[in-house]
């Protein structure tokens, strides 16, 4: 980062994942989830963490009660969110204000309507009363030494409809002592040029502006950057872009854009490398995987597939990368497919500490192209590709030998099965016959479907000989039909994800018989585990 970039100003980052982000469809956080997410955000080093709306429901009440006792923030400040007093109410007795006071937070973010349409049709009051609601509420809290941010809701729509009223809301908050005046693109309909022009105009009068953008046009990050360039000193958003409808400004993209591309100070510079691990850790806590294609922190953000790209990147790091991936805690990856050149395969072999001579390399290239044509997809199956590469070099798994397996599924109609198939009885049973250390082992196990039954039987047979396998478990199972025009006779591709608690790998099987494809992927999964468990011992 150049000296001229370092000279740019500090931008406060407020993460609202625990409040605005949790309004995303399908996202539901327990209190424990919220505490763990807050810990990760503090580790990352965002300036403020908006914890929720005290008084809105018991979950947020419990969160603030526990957060003040259990969380020991090193970088961040906890913020409580709430509304101004109600129209016609006395500030000192208004329940919204009481809830904010009782939260115990030093910082409060208070929402107020900045669009006259909402004042008239949502608040059902006058514009003058709306201004008084803002002034009275902010003044009451600041007089009690609470620092207040005002979220001017629907500001950009309000500014277009009634500029004077929208600005009067900001003035009321400023006159009452608000620390930040946050301009909200609540409907997410604005574009960067409009945001830039409006923020620039408003910044001539009000110098403590923030920006809060939603992503309904796909421009939340770009709009936030435009606002910063036009004078905003606080940015509100969510890690991974969580939020209602299409989400809020994505802080995992916005932070590196502001810091690495434009030179603003956002989170501590020494913490930027934590972006990828924190974004993915929070995604695990929330149970919504980070999109592989997400800029900066996605697993494919620095993945190279075309042979030309990988060979160039191998010769000169950064030839096909806009930043060094390690700056944001990510890594370059070289994908293998029918498009892979020899340079890619050499890089992959080097990663695995394997030596490929020219003959082995030619065999691997031919085998890879043949298998990809048949439906294999090794860029999604790192575990199976490593085993393929080792087999080309002469390695063969010798932990066990399969004699045969059998799967039997019995369906019996229960009472009223014709009306409700969920109440039918289905029994699945698998038998595997193996040779382990020259001993013939036969095991039968039941399961929840054929793949689970096979997995249970295979493990029951092998684990007495390889106890470390108990640490290994399947985490995902995916099936894709490759030629759907053949209906139930189609070729299927099965991908299995497996973990030992520290490392995760993927394996693949392809066959016209889904059980056969699953068995192939399952065998690769177990053999990969045993290979690396043996190497580690």
Give how many domains the chain has, as a whole number. 4
Detail the DSSP E strand segments found in 330-472.
333-334, 401-412, 425-436, 439-447
Does residue 292 belong to any structural domain of this protein?
no
Q: Does the pLDDT at position 72 exceed 70? A: yes
Same domain, 242 and 322: no
In a domain, 34, yes or no: yes
Q: What angle do CA 285, 291, 296 make, to 5 degrees?
A: 100
Q: Which residues contact 393 (CB under 8 A, 6 or more apart)?
A: 354, 355, 356, 360
Given this model, what pLDDT does residue 140 score?
96
Per-residue model confidence as pLDDT tens digits over 324-383: 888 998 777 666 655 556 777 777 788 788 888 889 888 888 888 888 888 888 777 888
Q: Which distant-in-sequence residues (6+ apart) come within 8 Å of 143 by Cβ?
A: 177
Which range of 136-150, 399-413, 438-452 scores highest in mean pLDDT? It is: 136-150
Does 362 share its domain with 459? no
Count of other CB atoms within 10 angstroms of residue 489: 9
- Specify if 138 maps to a domain: yes
Q: pLDDT tens digit string along 448-463?
A: 888 899 999 999 999 9
- What percentage of the chain carries pLDDT values higher than 70? 89
Structural domain that includes position 325: 303-368
Percent of the chain with pLDDT over 90: 59
What is the arithmetic mean of pLDDT over 10-38? 92
| Residue 83 dihedral angles phi and psi, to the nearest 5° | -110, 165
Spatial contact of 240 and 18, defined as CB atoms under 8 Å apart: no
Across the range 234-244, mean pLDDT stands at 95
Shared domain for 257 and 405, answered yes or no, is no
* Residue 496: CB atoms within 10 Å: 26
Q: Are residues 405 and 392 in the same domain?
A: no
- Spatial distance between the Cα atoms of 459 and 441, rounded to a whole number of angstroms: 12
| 15/163 same-domain check | yes
Residue 326 structure tokens: 């390690």
Q: Within this chain, do residues 280 and 307 fall inside the same structural domain, yes or no?
A: no
What is the pLDDT averaged over residues 280-300?
A: 83
Identify whether residues 169 and 308 lie together within a single domain: no
Note whether residue 294 is domain-resident.
no
CATH of the domain at 533: 3.30.160.340
Residue 284: which pLDDT band, with cuts at 50, 70 and 90? confident
Asked if residue 459 is part of any domain, the answer here is: yes
Distance CA 243, CA 237 (A): 9
What CA–CA distance (Å, rounded) separates 195 from 213?
10
Within this chain, do residues 236 and 194 fall inside the same structural domain, yes or no? yes
Is pTM, for the whole model, over 0.75? no
Q: What share of the chain is helix, strand, coil (3-state, %, to 5)?
A: 45, 20, 35
Domain termination site, one of 420, 437, 465:
465
Residue 414 shares a structural domain with residue 531: no
CATH no. for residue 434? Answer: 3.30.160
Mean pLDDT computed over every residue of the chain? 87
CB 50 within 8 A of CB 109: yes
Rounded to an integer, what distance in angstroms lies between the CA atom of residue 454 and that of residue 446?
A: 8
Once rounded to an integer, what is the mean pLDDT over residues 273-291?
A: 84
pLDDT at position 5:
42
Average pLDDT over residues 217-225: 97
Residue 190 belongs to a domain: yes
pLDDT at 361: 87
Residues 63, 187, single domain; the answer is yes
The verdict on 356 and 242 lying in the same domain is: no
Which structure tokens are listed for 435? 């040779």
Residue 318: per-residue pLDDT: 58
Structure tokens at 154: 């629907």
- List the CATH number of the domain containing 17: 3.20.20.70
Handedness of CA 515, 520, 524, 527 (dihedral sign): positive
List of residues 6+ apart from 421 with CB closer than 8 A: none
Beta-sheet strand order (sheet of 401-412): 401-412, 425-436, 439-447
455 in the same domain as 348? no
In a domain, 165, yes or no: yes
Over residues 144-164, the pLDDT tens digits come to 999 999 999 999 999 999 999
Are residues 24 and 243 in contact, defined by beta-carbon separation less than 8 angstroms?
yes
Could you tell me the pLDDT band of residue 275, with boundaries at 50, 70 and 90?
A: very high
Among 321, 347, 368, the domain-final residue is 368
- On whether residue 291 sits in a domain, the answer given is no
Burial 284-302 (b: 16+ CB within 10 A, else e): ebbeeebeeebebbbbebb
Given a cut of 60, whether residue 7 has pLDDT beyond it is no
Of the pLDDT bands very low, low, confident and very high (cuts 50, 70, 90), residue 77 is very high
411 contacts 426 by C-beta, under 8 angstroms? yes
Domain boundary among 435, 465, 495: 465
């Amino acid at each position: 980062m150049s000296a001229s970039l370092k000279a740019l100003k500090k931008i406060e980052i407020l993460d609202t994942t625990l409040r605005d982000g949790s309004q995303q469809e399908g996202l539901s956080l327990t209190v424990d989830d919220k505490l763990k997410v807050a810990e990760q955000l503090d580790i990352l080093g965002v300036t403020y963490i908006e914890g929720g709306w005290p008084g809105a429901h018991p979950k947020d009440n419990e969160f603030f009660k526990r957060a003040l006792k259990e969380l020991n923030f090193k970088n961040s400040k906890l913020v409580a969110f709430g509304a101004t007093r109600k129209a016609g109410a006395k500030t000192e007795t208004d329940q919204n204000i009481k809830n904010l006071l009782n939260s115990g937070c030093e910082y409060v973010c208070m929402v107020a309507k900045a669009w006259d349409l909402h004042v008239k049709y949502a608040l059902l009051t006058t514009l003058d009363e709306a201004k008084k609601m803002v002034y009275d509420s902010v003044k009451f809290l600041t007089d009690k030494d609470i620092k207040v941010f005002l979220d001017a809701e629907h500001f950009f729509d309000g500014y277009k409809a009634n500029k004077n009223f929208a600005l009067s809301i900001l003035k009321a908050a400023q006159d009452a002592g608000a620390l930040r005046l946050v301009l909200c693109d609540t409907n997410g309909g604005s574009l960067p040029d409009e945001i830039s022009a409006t923020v620039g105009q408003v910044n001539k009068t009000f110098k403590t502006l923030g920006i809060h953008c939603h992503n309904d046009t796909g421009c939340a990050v770009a709009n936030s950057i435009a606002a910063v360039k036009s004078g905003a000193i606080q940015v509100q958003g969510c890690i991974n872009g969580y939020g209602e409808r299409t989400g809020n400004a994505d802080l995992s993209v916005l932070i590196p854009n502001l810091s690495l591309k434009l030179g603003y100070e956002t989170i501590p510079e020494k913490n930027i490398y934590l972006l990828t691990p924190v974004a993915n850790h929070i995604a695990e806590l929330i149970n919504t995987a980070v999109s592989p294609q997400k800029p900066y922190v996605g697993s494919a953000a620095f993945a190279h597939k075309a042979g030309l790209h990988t060979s160039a990147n191998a010769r000169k790091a950064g030839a096909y990368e806009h930043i060094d991936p390690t700056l944001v805690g990510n890594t370059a990856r070289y994908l293998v497919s029918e498009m892979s050149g020899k340079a890619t395969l050499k890089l992959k072999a080097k990663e695995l500490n394997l030596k490929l001579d020219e003959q082995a390399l030619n065999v691997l290239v031919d085998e890879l192209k043949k298998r990809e044509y048949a439906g294999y997809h090794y860029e999604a199956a790192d575990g199976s590709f490593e085993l393929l590469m080792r087999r080309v070099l002469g390695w063969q798994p010798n932990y066990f030998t399969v004699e045969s397996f059998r799967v039997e599924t019995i369906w019996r109609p229960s009472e009223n099965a014709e009306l409700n198939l969920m109440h039918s009885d289905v029994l699945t049973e698998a038998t595997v016959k193996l040779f382990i250390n020259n001993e013939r082992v036969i095991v039968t196990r039941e399961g929840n479907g054929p793949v689970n039954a096979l997995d249970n039987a295979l493990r029951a047979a092998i684990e007495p000989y390889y106890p470390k396998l108990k640490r290994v478990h399947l985490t995902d199972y995916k099936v894709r039909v490759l030629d759907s025009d053949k209906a139930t006779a189609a070729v299927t591709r099965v991908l299995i994800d497996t973990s030992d608690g520290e490392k995760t790998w993927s394996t693949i099987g392809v066959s016209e018989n889904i059980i056969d494809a699953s068995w192939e992927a399952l065998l690769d999964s177990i053999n990969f585990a045993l290979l690396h468990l043996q190497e580690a011992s």
